[in-house]
Amino acid sequence: MSTPKIPFAHFLKASVCLLALATLAFAQAPTSYVITQSVGTTGGTSTTYRSGSKALVYFNQSAQGATPATHTYTLYDLAAGANYSWNPDASPITCSAGTFSGDWGDPFAMAGEVTDDLKKGELKPAGTDTVAGLATQVYTGSTAQETEKVWLDQKDGLVLRATYTPTGAAPMTLVDITKVSLTAPSASLFTLPPACAGAKPPPTPAELMAAETGDSAANWVNASYGPGSTNSCSIIVHVVAAKTMAPINRKYQAAIDTTYDQNNPPHYVFGVGVDGTSTYSGGGLHEITNQIHNGTLRIDNPPAYFMLGVNIPTPNRGADVNLVYRQCFAPVTMLYWVVKDPSHPADGGDWLYAKSGKYATPPAH
């Protein structure tokens, strides 16, 4: 049997890609550094100071005509997922607090995107250069719509410069790092000013679920977040009060649209009576109140996402529906409409799946 020959050009191209990937076996990204980069085209800069689980980002915007210079600080507590921001020039100084998850703006995070683009063949080596005093490998990639160019410090896994050029337009700078130090900054930088003493970040999604259910957040999944599970199941809907999880023993209406298309959303019309009883129309929306038995509603084999609404009739208050993603943790999965204030059900609630724990067990028949 003869062995088919691989054209040399294809072999060379594959070898270059494999070589490029081999050189991108980065060590673990540094967690102590000071990195400064240009921001925008108006003289702005940002400097990121990081030491372990704490990071401080200082943004400095130069004065522009009659607009004075601005300075802001944001301190990230990476372990707690909390951030605090303040303007040192304000009088008085005020502090805002928030929460975050995932990428907070780590300058080293972009190297992973470069690796992915190399694997896909979207970027290819295009020489070497020196940026901010560091040796870089240059990578480029083009399509009919755009050209990308990246300068990567392969030793430390840091993208020092990146540009994006739409076809027929001027280049846009995405990353422009001008100074790098991999030494730990002073610990004093990570001390919050007195103005932040009383600032509290809002509850995290996990904390909200724990407060609403009186249960571990690990047992719950918010049904409003996709994508929907690939496996199918039946869903049993419970209507309960927040914090106590006690069933709301009032008659309620239910409506569903299993044909809802996120790319072509329909227009819904809700009618409402004096007592709060609603009517539903538009798209595939229809009432399924007659499927409610013993206070629960069973939905067999719903699609990956659908519109679902529960209406506890309240005088002169109409109904609504929400986008719900299918999540199947068992052949029969429990879905709860957790009403924030049972005395005022029109104030709304949250759709939560019980994936484990005592609330995940189907009711006995």
8 Å CB contact between 33 and 54: no
Q: Among candidates 283, 289, 286, 322, which has minimal Cα distance to 306?
A: 322
What integer pLDDT is reported at residue 102 of this predicted model?
84
Is cis: bond before 201, omega within 30 of 0?
no
**CA distances to 3, 72, 151, 152, 159 from 176, in Å:** 49, 20, 10, 11, 9
Edge-to-edge strand order for the sheet containing 234-241?
220-222, 349-354, 332-339, 234-241, 296-300, 292-293
Token code pair at residue 37: 């980069």
HSE at residue 346, side-chain half, CA atoms within 13 A, is 12
8 Å CB contact between 172 and 162: no
What integer pLDDT is reported at residue 15 of this predicted model?
36
Angstrom distance (rounded) from CA 133 to CA 126: 19
What integer pLDDT is reported at residue 152 of this predicted model?
94
What integer pLDDT is reported at residue 112 of this predicted model?
85
Angstrom distance (rounded) from CA 75 to CA 86: 9
What integer pLDDT is reported at residue 68 of this predicted model?
83
What integer pLDDT is reported at residue 178 of this predicted model?
95
What integer pLDDT is reported at residue 85 of this predicted model?
97
What integer pLDDT is reported at residue 113 of this predicted model?
86
Chain-wide mean pLDDT for the chain?
Answer: 89
What integer pLDDT is reported at residue 118 of this predicted model?
84
Sequence-separated (6 or more) residues with CB below 8 Å from residue 321: 255, 256, 257, 268, 280, 285, 307, 308, 309
End-to-end alpha-carbon separation of the chain, Å?
A: 67
pTM of the model: 0.64
Ranges of residues in the chain with a pLDDT under 70 are 1-27, 363-365
**CA distances to 44, 69, 87, 243, 350 from 66, in Å:** 16, 10, 19, 53, 47
Angstrom distance (rounded) from CA 362 to CA 334: 7
